[in-house]
Structures are given as structure tokens and as C-alpha cells.
Structure 1
Amino acid sequence: MIPTVEYANGCVRMIDQTKLPNETVFVDCRTIEEVGRAIKTMIIRGAPAIGVAAAMGVSLEAQAIDATDFDSFYSRLEKKCDELARSRPTAVNLGWSIARMKAVAQANRNLPIPELKERLRQEALAVCEEDIAANKAMGRFGQTLFDNGDTVLTHCNAGALATAGYGTALGVIRAAIESGKKIQVFANETRPFLQGARLTVWELMEDQIPVKLITDNMCGHFMKKNQIQRVVVGADRIAANGDVANKIGTYMVAVLAQRHGIPFYVAAPISTLDLTLP
């Protein structure tokens, strides 16, 4: 799978998801402002991927700051972090990632500035590596809920393209297939931005996973015909009571799944939990 986002050679490189599936184009962000624009314009999307890109963007800004004392350094860093946080307010991973990077800066305030910059770079890389590890762990746990021969419906894109790699909802599907199960996927097109049609189907076809694209209003028909056995989606934000905010259309799928007695699962990392929402 092509890396969604990576940090190398002084830039944050990400695949331009607005160009898929027709073109595979990469965008190099060299400043925190460019990372913010990429998030705002949906060049990169998916809550976990946004969090990873944000951590890397904070590190880019840290590298660019010309300061000899911590207070001056942190004052500029905090201002730029606040601007970055406004690029996609719906994705809780964005704020989580920025807060984590700021906390690392504060915890290491006594380091010389060059060492502090390197510490922040290492933390950004850790955010990326931890996301991939979490996705693979979710996949291992989640695949036990699937039976051999299942057809699984998913909505929007919660795959490798929405994360640093492997995926949340699609990670569960990948893990089921890696365990030897035969799984087929129905992908809702996901209007109005068509993440299912443009991204999920492309991603699964790249991995040679059997997938069928359907319009959003067809999933009820296939459920009624017993052609869907499971539903798995990702999440933009999960409240303390378990309520899930996700792409428009997810509620419709959940209601239809309940009506037809089909298990409905949400695969998301801890960074997607927002315990400030009751």
C-alpha cells in the first residue's frame, strides 16, 4: 500500500486524495501552514491521518523557529499550533495530536533548543508508528467478529488512506483476509465527496480484495436480500457515552443494520475518543 503520509527530508509528503483514483500524485508540505492547507482542502483526510499529519506539521514549525530560549520558542510554536487546530475542527485526532506535541515541548523545556527540536521530530514519528500499530491491533481483535464467507458493508473510507497505514475499518477486513477468511466488501459510494467510490474501492482493488461499489441508497436492498452479514465503519469522533460522529450517511446505515438484525461495528483508535463530550 502506498504510504498516506510520511516525514522525510525536511518535508511532510502525502498522497493527494483529491486526485484519486485517476492520478497518484504526492504533495510535499514544507511548513505548518502548508500542512494546514492540505488538511483544509482534503488533500489528506481521515481523522487518524489528520492527527499524524498535524504532529509532523508541528515538528516542521519547530524546526523553522529561530529562538535561543524556550519561552520565545514555545510562544511562536503555540501560536502556529492554534492556527493549525482550526484547519479541521470535526476531527478530534487533530486537537489530540497538537496537544500531545505541545505537552512534549513543555515536558522537555530544559533541553537546548536544537535537542528540543529533535525530540519533537521523534515524537511526530512515534505518533505515526503508533497509529499503524494500533490499526493492526484493532484488525487482529476485530477480525474475530467476522466469519468465513461474510460480505461486509463499509461507508466512506476508513482504510490506509484515512490513517498512517493499514486502516481502521478496512484494517479489520484486511486482518480477516490475512487470517485466511474469504471476505467480500460492499462499499457505499458516500456522497457528496464520494470517498467510498474514489478511495475505498481504489484502495481495496490495489490490495486485490473483492469489492463491489454500490450507491448509498442500495444498502437497504442488499440487507433485505441477506447479502450483507456485517457492517464496519470508522469514526471522526466518539463521545464519552459511546455516540459516534462519522461521515454523513452513517446514521442511515446504522438504522438499516438494526432493522435487519445485522451487526454494526465501529473501528477507531483511542485518539478518536472525546471524553469532554458526555
Structure 2
Amino acid sequence: METFNFLSIRYNKEEKKLEILDQRKLPDIEEWLLVNDPSDMITYIKQLSVRGAPLIGVGASMSLYNHVLLNESKLTKEDITRISMELRESRPTAVNLMYSIDEMMQVKQAEDKRDLSAENLGRIAMSIIKNEVEMCRKMSEFGASLIQHGESILTHCNTGSVATVGAGTALGVIREAHKQGKNIHVYVDETRPLLQGGRLTTYELEREGIPYTLICDNMAATLMRSGKIQRVLVGADRICRNGDFANKIGTYGVSVLAHHHNVPFHAVAPMSTVDIKCETGEDIPIEERSSSEVQGASGAFGTVRWAPKNSKTFNPAFDVTPMNLVTSLILDIGIIDKNNLDKLK
């Protein structure tokens, strides 16, 4: 294992110290949370201090490794297996989490062949991290090749370096296009109910000096109708074999608007987001979250409630966009459309 320091997660090899950036406090407060053991990481994942499908997978893997490193003499293989399953089940939709934990636990190998030593788990965790960084680089380059000079791009939720350990997925494409001097402008959906666009994407774009305009989610249709959006880039938390994908709630609505207004719509994700066991979007489990997230808002500004405390709510964290509304999937293996979906397998 090596010492690393990304925007969203960092590890000190000498101190055996793992920390994550508390995304709930952004953009105004940059506060790092210490991960003492996997139960801390599970809490941070569930409360969205850690979010973004690739980052969740990396965070869970690192917490498992560091826990074994610190407690190797006390842990049995059964203990490590139990802890890995608790991490694996901390969020149900983002398949990167399952993928990363399965890699750590070497599920493709026979039970008696699995090496669960700290040394080996550290090698696997570092490999996962390096692969995610490289996948972000490749996605960014493939996606930027589609961007035309002067385009205005709509994005939803947050898909950058606070959601990954690399340049990001959809936001990585935007970064690369900006770096290439394509004179782009980004329209940022605020992304209710947790405002990941308003709090996190704007935070990253501000740091990078990329021109942007923040909008409420319900303003996208007006912008498309007036011809101010030339392309939509979003992330994905799970992609099915037929190209359907789950992403932050509201993505499906954006895809419908883009389809109606003939605006190219792309999902950007690494191959670790593809679930080849999942046939269609109907098979994706959708997490439902607390009513309080819809009844008000919370962040670095504090907590505000505007609805009655006992009001009934509907709060799915994700929705599913069918492939027939998608122009293409931008993956680290290339650009996938309806005509070459077999590459997902």
C-alpha cells in the first residue's frame, strides 16, 4: 500500500491513517473524517459523507484493508468475510461497491485459495485505486472527443473528483474538454433533494475555473427549448447488459427532455459500474431514503425544514434511464451505443 492524497480520500501509510472528506459540509467547509474501522465507513456511506459510486467502492476497500492491517492477529477469515459483507450491503444500488469488495475478497477464486492477509488486501486495494484513476482518464478522453467547440453542457448530480479517485466521470469529460480549450459552458442542475450539483459540482468547477451556471432542476426544459443546451452528460451507478442505467433521481426526467428536444444525452461511467448479471433496468434495486431529505435541506448552512414533520414523502435515491433514450454510454473501453451493446459483456 502507498500513501495517497486525492480530493475526496487520503491515506497515510506510516500512520496507517485513512480519512475521507465530509461531502455533507461542502462547499463552505472542508472537513476530514477519520475512518477508525469499517463500521465508521458504513456510517459515512449511509449518511453520504462518502458518495459517488467509484469512491464508495474505493472507500469500502480501503477501510477493509486498514482494519485487517491494524488487527490482523485478532481476525479470522470468518471475521473478515462478515465485515466485507457488511460493507458490501451498505448501499444497494451502486454496483462499484459490490465489485470492489468482491475483488478484495477474491470471490472468483476457490475458498481455500483466497489470501486475506493485510499485505495481499493492500495490493488489491491499490490496484482498484490505480484502475479507477486510469478508467477516469480514458473516459475523459473518449468523451471529450465528442464535445464541439463552444458547446453548453447540462450535467446532473456530481460526477467529479469528490465522487471518484480520478478526474471524474461526466465531470472528467468536462474537465478534459475545458483543458483542450473547447470554450465550453456548464449548466449545473442543483439536484434535489440533496443538492449534489449545487454544493459539489459547483465547488469543483469553481476550483478548476470552468465557466458554469447553476440552475434549479425544473429549469432544464426551458433552457433546452431555447437552444441553450447542446449536450447532456451524467454519471451512472449501475449499468445493465441492455444499456439501461440507474443514476441519481432526476436523471430519467432529463433524458426525456433531451430526447424531446433532440439534445445528445450521454452517461459516463467506468466498466466497474457495468453489472453483467443485471439484464434490464427493471432488475436494479432502488434505495429509498429518509423523509427528512425531502421535507427540508441540510448542509454547511445548517438544517432547514419547510414541510410538516409528519408529511408523507416519496424519496428514491435513484431512477432508471432506458437505453432507448441514451445517445451513447461513454466508458473506459470506448463509446457504446445501441449498435454495439455486446461490448458491455
Aligned to 2:163: 162
Q: How does 1:208-223 map to 2 (within 5 A)?
A: 208-223=209-224
Aligned to 2:63: 57
Q: Which of 6, 10, 15 is 2:10 aligned to?
A: 6
Letter in 2 for 1:63: L
Letter in 1 for 2:258: A
Letter in 2 for 1:154: T
SS for the counterpart of 1:160 is coil
In the superposition, the TM-score normalised over structure 2's length comes to: 0.75
CA distance in 2, matches of 1:182, 1:92: 34
Q: How does 1:37-116 map to 2 (within 5 A)?
A: 37-67=43-73, 73-103=76-106, 116=117
How many positions carry a matched residue from both structures? 273
Task: Summarize deviations over 1:58-90 as a string: whole Å, max 9, x none.
Answer: 10222134448xxx7321100001111121111
The list of structure 1 runs, each at least 4 consecutive aligned residues, that deviate by more than 4 angstroms after superposition, is: 104-113
Letter in 2 for 1:56: M
CA distance in 2, matches of 1:10, 1:142: 37
Aligned to 1:29: 35
CA distance in 1, matches of 2:38, 2:269: 26
Q: Residue 18 of structure 2 contacts residue 34 of structure 2 at CA under 8 Å; is this kept in 1? A: yes
Q: Residue 187 of structure 2 contacts residue 214 of structure 2 at CA under 8 Å; is this kept in 1? A: yes
CA distance in 1, matches of 2:272, 2:184: 28
Aligned to 1:251: 252
Aligned to 2:265: 264
SS for the counterpart of 1:274 is coil
Q: Residue 157 of structure 1 contacts residue 196 of structure 1 at CA under 8 Å; is this kept in 2? A: yes
User: Kindly tell me: are residues 4 and 118 of structure 1, through their superposed partners in 2, closer, same or farther at Cα, counting changes over 3 Å?
Assistant: same
Instruction: Between 223-232 and 123-132, report the one with greater CA deviation.
Output: 123-132
Task: Summarize deviations over 1:1-50 as a string: whole Å, max 9, x none.
Answer: 96211222313211100000110111110211111111111111000000
Instruction: Between 119-128 and 129-138, report the one with greater CA deviation.
Output: 119-128
Q: Residue 191 of structure 2 contacts residue 198 of structure 2 at CA under 8 Å; is this kept in 1? A: yes
Letter in 2 for 1:86: E
SS for the counterpart of 1:103 is coil
Q: How does 1:126-141 map to 2 (within 5 A)?
A: 126-141=127-142
SS for the counterpart of 1:89 is coil
Q: Residue 6 of structure 2 contacts residue 165 of structure 2 at CA under 8 Å; is this kept in 1? A: no
Task: Summarize deviations over 1:132-184 as a string: whole Å, max 9, x none.
Answer: 11101100111011001000000000111111121000000111111221111
Aligned to 2:153: 152
CA distance in 2, matches of 1:257, 1:105: 40
Unaligned runs of 5+ in 2: 280-345
